[in-house]
A and B are shown apart, each in its own frame.
Chain A
Amino acid sequence: MVRSMALTGNFAAAYSTKQINPHVVAAYPITPQTTMMEKFSEYVANGEVDTELICVESEHSAMSACVGASAAGGRVITSTAANGLALMFEIVYIAASNRLPIIMCVMNRALSAPINIHGDHSDSMGCRDSGWIQIYNENAQEVYDTTIMGVRIGEHKDVRLPVMVNLDGFITSHKIEKVDVLEDDEVQKFIGEYKPVYPLLDTDNPVTYGPLDLTDYYFEHKRQQVEAMKKALPVVKKVSKEYSNFTGRQYDILEPYHLDDADCAIVTMSSTAGTTKHVVDKLRAEGKKVGMLKVRLFRPFPAEDIREQLAGMKQVAVLDRSESFGAYGGPLYSEVRNAMYDVDDKPNIVDYIFGLGGRDINAVNIENIFNRLMSAPAKMPGDVNYLGVRGD
C-alpha cells in the first residue's frame, strides 16, 4: 500500500532528508530554500532524527561544515539557492575535489543583480564545472526520490562525489503536490548503512585531507575526478533502475516523451518538462509528430544517450533556463549541440533562453516553438532566441 502525502518540493526534500537521517546537516536559510530547513529543524526539535543540525553564519560556513563532517566520516546533507550557492562556491569545488559524497538540494533561483528571488538555473549552472553530479527534477515527487537515490549514487565506491539535487525555485519548491513516499525503514534499507572511506575520526588510521598539491600531482588528482565522473554515469543508471524496481516509479538519466516517431522535439529540464508534456499531448491529439526529451542528469552529461535519442530527428529546440553570457547559446544547448556534432543524420538544433528571474513560460510559448520547428526548412542554421522577453 503506497502512502501519499501533500508536500511542497521543499517539504519533500525535508521529508526524504528526515528518512535518510543523516549524521550532520549544516545550512543557512535563503529564499526559496528556507522552508526545507525550517521543516527539517522541526524534525530535529521533535527528536525524529539523530542528526546534528549545525546552524552556521553563512553558506560558505555551511559547506565548510559539511566538508568537515563528511571528511570526519558522516553522511551529510545541506541545501541552498542562488546567492547562497554563489557564496559557498569556493567550498563547493573542495567538496568534490576531496571526494566527499555530500547531498545538496538547490532550489534553483536567479543570481543578483538586480535582486530576484524567483526561479532560474543560473545558480547551479555556475557550478556545472565544479565536479558535482547534477540532477534536475521536474516535480516534488522527483525531488523526494532523487534525494534518496543521490545518497546511493554519491557514496558508490566507484564514484565518491557530491550530488546536487536541483528543483525550480517557487515553481517546485513551494507548490503542493501529491507525493508517494516510502516508509522510514524502506528508505534505510535502500540507502544502507554508511561506510565512510578514509574518515578523519578513525584515529587508528590517520589521514591528511587538503594538503598542498603543486605542479607534480594536481593534474593527476583532477584526472581522477574525470574518471569518477565517467564512472558516475552507469552508476546513476544502475541506482535509478534499482530504485524504479524498489518503488515502481520509473527513473532514468533521461525521460523521452513521445520521442520514438517524432520529427520535432524540445529538449529541456526541470518543471518546464511538465508544461512541455502538456503541449506534446495537445499536438499529438492533433496528429502532429512532436516529442520531448527531458534531461535529468546534467553532470555527468549523458552525450551518448542523447545522441541515441535525437539521431534521425529533423528539428530540435533546446530550452535553457539560464544564460551563459558571451557563449553561443545556453549551457544545455552547448552540450546537446556538441553531443550531436558527429552524428550523420543529426537534426537542426536551435536554442531558446527562457524564464530568467522566474519569467513565466506557458503552453502557448511552447506551442509556438513547436510550430516554428514543424514549419522549418529542411536545413535550418542554429540560432539563439530569447523567449518571453519584451523586444525579443
Chain B
Amino acid sequence: MSDEKTWKEIPWGGLILDAGNAAEYHTGDWRTERPVHIMDNCKHCMYCWICCPDSAIIVEDKKMVGVDFNYCKGCGICENVCPFNAIKMVIEGQEGD
C-alpha cells in the first residue's frame, strides 16, 4: 500500500497514459486456489497454455514447466480443461506448500 499515490500525483479522470501495461497489474493477488502441476501426467499438449486467461502458464522448450503466480488468479480453467489430469487445484496455504 505504501507506493500508492496521492490525488496530486495521478492523471485526472482515472486516465491511463501508458499503453500495454497489463503486465504491471499482478492479478495473482486475487488467488485463493492454486494450480499444482503433476509433471508425470503432463503430455505438454499446451491446452492449458491456450486457455489460460492471464497468460500465466510458463512454457520453455515447448514444454509446460509451471505457473507464473504473479498473474495466476486461481480461476481453475487449466484444471478444468486438462485432458490428462495433470493440473490439480488446491486451497492456498493448505496443501503442497
**Do chains A and B interact in one complex?**
yes
Q: List 11 A-B contacts (CB under 8 A).
A: A99-B12, A160-B12, A198-B11, A207-B17, A207-B19, A217-B4, A217-B14, A220-B5, A220-B7, A221-B13, A224-B7
In the complex, are the beta carbons of A211 and B4 less than 8 A apart? no
Contact of A198 among B6, B7, B10, B15 (CB under 8 A): B15
User: A248 in the interface, Cβ–Cβ < 8 Å?
Assistant: no
Interface residues in A205-228 by Cβ distance below 8 A to B read: 205-211, 213, 216-218, 220-221, 223-224, 227-228
If over half of A's interface residues share one DSSP class (helix, strand or loop), that class is named, otherwise mixed; here it is loop
Contact of B13 among A98, A206, A216, A227 (CB under 8 A): A98
In the complex, are the beta carbons of A221 and B7 less than 8 A apart? yes
Contacts of A322 in B (CB 8 A): none
In the complex, are the beta carbons of B12 and A216 less than 8 A apart? no
In the complex, are the beta carbons of B13 and A209 less than 8 A apart? yes
User: B50 in the interface, Cβ–Cβ < 8 Å?
Assistant: no
User: B23 in the interface, Cβ–Cβ < 8 Å?
Assistant: no
If over half of B's interface residues share one DSSP class (helix, strand or loop), that class is named, otherwise mixed; here it is loop
Q: How far is the CB of B24 from chain A (nearest CB, A)?
A: 13
In the complex, are the beta carbons of A227 and B14 less than 8 A apart? no
Alpha-carbon gap, A211 to B12, bound state (A): 12
Contacts of B16 in A (CB 8 A): 207-208, 211
Contacts of B17 in A (CB 8 A): 198, 205, 207
Nearest-neighbor residue (CB-CB) of B6 within chain A:
A220
Interface residues in A166-219 by Cβ distance below 8 A to B read: 198, 205-211, 213, 216-218
Known: A198-B17, A207-B17. A221 touches B6 (CB 8 A): no
Alpha-carbon gap, A34 to B2, bound state (A): 53
Contacts of B15 in A (CB 8 A): 98, 198, 207-209
User: A139 in the interface, Cβ–Cβ < 8 Å?
Assistant: no
In the complex, are the beta carbons of B6 and A224 less than 8 A apart? no
Alpha-carbon gap, A312 to B7, bound state (A): 39
Q: How far is the CB of B73 from chain A (nearest CB, A)?
A: 14
Contacts of B13 in A (CB 8 A): 97-99, 209, 221, 224
In the complex, are the beta carbons of B14 and A210 less than 8 A apart? yes
In the complex, are the beta carbons of A217 and B10 less than 8 A apart? yes
Q: Pick the 9 closest A-B CB pairs, nearest first.
A: A208-B16, A220-B7, A223-B7, A206-B19, A99-B13, A98-B13, A213-B14, A99-B12, A224-B7
Alpha-carbon gap, A208 to B13, bound state (A): 10
Contacts of A224 in B (CB 8 A): 7, 10, 12-13
Q: How far is the CB of A71 from chain B (nearest CB, A)?
A: 9
Contacts of A205 in B (CB 8 A): 17
Q: How far is the CB of A236 from chain B (nearest CB, A)?
A: 19
Contact of B10 among A97, A210, A220, A227 (CB under 8 A): A220
Alpha-carbon gap, A205 to B17, bound state (A): 8
Interface residues in B1-52 by Cβ distance below 8 A to A read: 4-7, 10-17, 19
